[in-house]
Structure 1
């Protein structure tokens, strides 16, 4: 899915992910939906704020395979690779990747092989269904 690299685009992406997860059987108030929606909000906000290139959109992908939800956000700016740091105690920003790191079971960054930019991804393992071995 493609969204404009604006705060509105990030907001729409977050809402779409929440709806899609609900359609896939993860209700709005479930831990999986709330966690992946928050991770998506952080990654899309970063794509808009730090990965924005005028006239270029960001891309969002959500997949569920073998009990793992994976969200990927791709922008077109490769020279700013995200790394979680220690934010200033009085600062109003700089905590997004710390949240992603705390909430996701795994996350990372991959440069796009055939185009400029990067993909930041995060994964959340779903609990095994009740009664599963």
Structure 2
């Protein structure tokens, strides 16, 4: 007998191409929520932080591709691809009064793992575990 308790079936990939601008973030978070069909604050946080990093470090208006997948079980994978190979994410230490610079620390806190792949631009990806993440 195949046991599937606590495991979610994989579903097609959410694949969205858009321009990295602040006003796109709200709609993108809503799209991710609909795709996952459950509360997903941590996933939405990761998407928001990764796209915000593109806006700040690559430039507002950069073309990006956001992919979210549930490959099986409770695992959720998020990927954000942009055209800039040179703007690699680095998590600098943030001083207590800094208003920015905590995005990658937040990503590191909620993701099981994250990393960067360089090929025709770069893709920053992270993986989260658990329902409702």
Decide: shared fold, TM above 0.5. yes
> In which range does the TM-score fall when normalised by the shorter chain?
0.7 to 0.9
Q: Which residue of 1 aligns with 2:86?
A: 79
| Gap runs ≥5 in structure 2 | 1-15
Contact 1:69 1:123 in 2 (8 A): yes
2:64/2:83 contact within 8 Å kept = yes
Count of residues in Structure 1 that have an aligned counterpart in Structure 2: 115
Q: Which contiguous aligned blocks of 4+ residues in structure 1 show a shift greater than 2 angstroms?
A: 9-12, 51-54
Indicate the structure with greater helix content. 1
CA RMSD between the two structures: 1.6
Q: Which residue of 2 aligns with 1:46?
A: 53
Residues in 2 aligned to 1:12 and 1:58: alpha-carbon distance in whole angstroms = 15
The 5-angstrom pairing of residues 1-133 of structure 1 reads: 1-22=16-37, 27-28=38-39, 33-52=40-59, 56-67=62-73, 68-112=75-119, 115=120, 117-126=121-130
The structure-2 alpha-carbon separation of the partners of 1:53 and 1:100, relative to structure 1 and needing over 3 Å to count, comes to: same
- Aligned equivalents of 1:53 and 1:100: distance in 2? 21
Instruction: Report 1 or 2 for greater relative contact order, CA contacts < 8 Å, sequence distance ≥ 6.
Output: 2
Q: Shift in Å at residue 53 of structure 1?
A: 6.8
Do 2:54 and 2:60's aligned partners in 1 also have CA atoms closer than 8 Å? no
